[in-house]
Amino acid sequence: MSQPTAAEVESYRFGGSRARPRKNIPANTLRGVHYLKKPHSLKTKYPTAAIAIDVQCCQDSTIHVLDVTEQVQLSDLNNCRVVIGPCVGSVLIMDCTNCVISVAAEQIRLRDVTSSELRVFAPTASECVVLETSRDIAIRAWDAAYPQLNAQFALAGWGAGATNNWARVYDFSPPADSAAPNHRLVDESTQAASRWCELSIEGSTVREIVSSQPSVEGCECPIAAADGT
How confident is the model at residue 191, as a pLDDT?
67
Q: Residue 218: what pLDDT?
A: 81
pLDDT mean over 181-187: 89
What percentage of the chain reaches a pLDDT higher than 90?
69
Return the exposure string of 2-34: e unless at least 16 CB atoms fall within 10 Å of the residue's CB, then b: eebeeebeeebebbeebeeeeeeeeeebbeebe
What's 68's DSSP letter?
Answer: -
Predicted confidence (pLDDT) at residue 83 exceeds the cutoff of 80: yes
CB 108 within 8 Å of CB 82: no
pLDDT: is 27 or 206 the higher one?
A: 206
Check residues 228 and 4 and name the one with the higher pLDDT: 4
φ, ψ for residue 2, nearest 5 deg? -70, 155
Q: Per-residue pLDDT tens for 122-142?
A: 998 787 899 999 999 999 999
What per-residue confidence (pLDDT) applies to 229? Answer: 47
Pairing of strands 183-185, 144-145: unpaired
pLDDT greater than 60 at residue 227 = no
Query: Which amino acid type is present at position 162?
Result: A
Within 13 A of 86's CA, how many CA atoms are on the CB side? Answer: 27
